[in-house]
Structure 1
Amino acid sequence: MAGGKLTPRQKMINLMYLVFIAMLAMNMSKEVLSAFGLMNEKFETSNESASKSNEQSLAALDLKAKESKGEFINAAVTAHKVSDASKKFYSFIETLKIENLKGTESEDGKLPYEAMDKADNLDHSWFTGDGYTKRGNEVMSAIESYKSEMKSALSDSKYSVILKQVNDAFNTADVKNKEGVSVKFLDYHFKGFPQIASLAKLSAWQSDIKKIETDVINSALGKAAVDESSYSKFEAIVVLEKNAYFAGEQVSGKVVLGKYDPNAKFEGFVGPGKLVNGQAVISTTAGGIGEQTLAGSFNFKENGKPINLPFKGTYVVVPRPNQAIISADKMNVVYRGVPNPISVSVPGIASNKVNASAPGMTKVGDGKFMLKPQSGAEVKISVTATMPDGKPMSSAQVFRIKGLPAPTGKVGGTDKNKGPKSNLEVCSVTAVMEDFDFPVSVNVTQFNIKVPGQPTIVVSGSKMDSRARAAIAKASRGDIVIISEIKASFQGIDQVAKRVSPCTYEIQ
């Protein structure tokens, strides 16, 4: 736009364009202004809460200083110095916020954030040319005064970290802007900023003041000392000599507070034991097998008020061994093609704390699993459990994988493979999985029958049809009738790996 010879009209248009761009750059969006407003609300709410909390902590510290004296007195003196300096500076900043809001009216108790985009109030009050006005210098002086008072109050080296927070939060040195030019502290943070942004910044200063005040009270054995010395902050801990006991065995141990004090004065103790020098000594008899509970409470008074502090602990009772566990190592077998029920338990550990895994294994209940073996000749079942003391344990067992036994054809469902022709005519042909303990139901759908001297007859279903009975009627004593090509469906197994073996019937 600046190159070449331009007419006066073109120069005017270019100038107006530059002014328009500048105005856009200065015009902050309503969303950003609202965001600053919401940020300010958060700061002010937090500051109110911190003020109340600090007042309560300081009052508690004063009470401790009065009752316990000693180090609490010095802690209270330091905390009050910091509190006075904080209140003074906090109040001064509040006057700056009022000055910043001059001419701005609330709408239904809420500031019009989207309209607070001007910087006139603080710009006219604090700045003149490249320097500060009288009011601007007062602001700088108030900051330095606060830092000086805090330095005096926090002279002890144990507050060095907090003192650094003060100096970092209110460092008034010149600041380099993004162009690398040094800018005065107030210029950098406030000059030309929208009214709502400046308000949020001042509230953030107040938030820094309250946080520093809180840190001082805590570090001065204030809130931390009050909390730690309160009985209500103690934790009751059950400490047993061991976590697992045999039935009838004497259970011994103690219940103590997290911060043991032999001089503690208790009103009473409820539980399986008695108080001895500020601790409860446990004495009871182990209950039934499984997880047992020890429970009770410490009772005492604090500041004249009764306090009840309950405790609860557990231990595990395991049975005394009264028989040996015998297992046939070679019989660790599971069958492919059928769901194998597996029970897993670990002595002394509840079943819901025991888990097992293997290819094809699923959990069906506490300590109960179903295994459908995959490929291979062996499967390894891994067991993990959580012991009563929280420590893990693991174990593993290898099982052989066997195929399903071959189904065997039967006439009449028995092993009697001979008899009169009349019996054979009314018998049903079945197929069974011999020496197989899994529940399997069988439905024979077809078979072949061969009577000597007669053609082979294919029968549908499991009973003899008219053609088969006619052929049987022609059989002679001593003839061997052959039942073959038996087809059947099986329920309870995934597959039948082998064909159904044939069977015979001798005519008598």
Structure 2
Amino acid sequence: MAGGKLSPRQKMINLMYLVFIAMLALQMSKEVLTAFGYLNERLTTFNVSQKDKNADKYAGLALKASEQAEKFGDENEKAQQVRALSQELFDHIEKVKQVVLVDIPEEKKENYEEMDKSETLDLYLYQKGQVSEDGQAFLDAIEKYRNGVVAVLGDEYPEVSTSILEHFDTDDVPSKDGVSQAKNWIDHTFVGFPSVASMTKLSLMQTDIRSAERNILNTMLRGQLAADAGISASTYQTIFIPTKPSFFPGENVTGEIVLGRYDATLMPSEVVVNGRPVTKFEGGGAVMNFPAGNVGENDIKGKFVFMQDGKPVEIPIDTKYAVVAKPNDAVIAADKMNVVYRGLQNPMTISVPGVADNKVNAKAAGLRKASGIGKYIMVPGTGKEIRINVTASLPDGSPMSSSKVYRIKDIPKPMATVRRESGMVSMAKSSLLKTTVRVELPDFLFDLDFNIQSFKIKVPGQATITVNGNKLNTQAQTAVNRARVGDVINIFDVKSSIVGVSGLRVPDASPVNIEIQ
């Protein structure tokens, strides 16, 4: 404090300030220093214990979030953000505490009467009358924690947010006399105090962090559990549970209306649906049984009344149900195309609206049931058309039958490619010598792999060469090496087969031409 480019007068003032601080330290009794040390020990022990307790709460909240994501998912996410911010500041404070101990011999670290100096921490946090770089980093860490936690909590937990702002306030501290200049928070809190007192203050800040975590977790859990325990019109909703997804004209709509938070012990005192009272109740629900009405979406309106604390609580009923026309036709659709392709496994979906999959039966040559509801595989053989016949047993027990005709087509003519390019391709002789001949079906809806059996290659001025496999043989390579720049080499008569499909003839692929660069 007496160094640097200061005037003699300023150096003298600073020296007097140091003497004054030393006098204050000498006046502090050894018993007070020891009391600070013991308090620091207690705070450190509490912080370890509270960390373990908080860890249990974090784990409990995470478990609830995994079981009931809608109720506890947001709270758990916020808690984990608070946990990360808290640990970051806790660790930064621990780093500052280690600075206090760095110049204290190991044998004197538990002798609190020896921890009466302040210079080490003073110089670390505050130099030449202003906050040091390390001191500013400490302030920034506190600000990041304070603002970060308040931002995570938002407006949902105002009391906890207020507590955080109060306990971690680092604004300048006004003078008690109201006349002197306000003191920087670090200067007011740490500068000139014995190291054991500063250690205790830092441990107390860590205690505030752990306590804030505990309060946040308790508030989150208490708020959600209170919402779960509440029984009021705002926490219940009416739900119509039909006996089946849809109904046919002439049928009765059967099912029950229950409260969203279902309680079998809660018997309604009155239920009115579409202007008519419901008199049959089972397990806390009103049993519904009335004509279905017209095809389309129909309303169920009324009220559900139950008693709470001796008073009737009325919850409105406002839901809908659907009535569908009685089917007389099956729904049959090719999953990937409007036709079926000969020799390939064509995926199909065959179902009847409102009828279970095990009540539907589909038959055709080459058709078999696949895994999944309504899923079939069709492998057409000879002919130009295939008829698929469907029979089903409707919910009322009556039979239904239907059929559809699909066209059978051969797979399209493939195209020969080199480097995945077709038509006219420009490439160097060196590239052509190493290239692989393939065939592809552009824009075809099936992903098919082909085996190349053979192809022919014609180099200008030389005889046509037949090659087995998908790469140029020695004879073809010799012919290519004789080609000149600008020559167009033709690969044609490409014969192939589909991997995994036997007995299906694949048309010869369209040729590919290579211009030598």
Normalising by the smaller structure, the TM-score range is 0.3 to 0.5
Normalising by structure 1, report the TM-score: 0.39
- Please, what TM-score do these two structures have when normalized by structure 2? 0.39
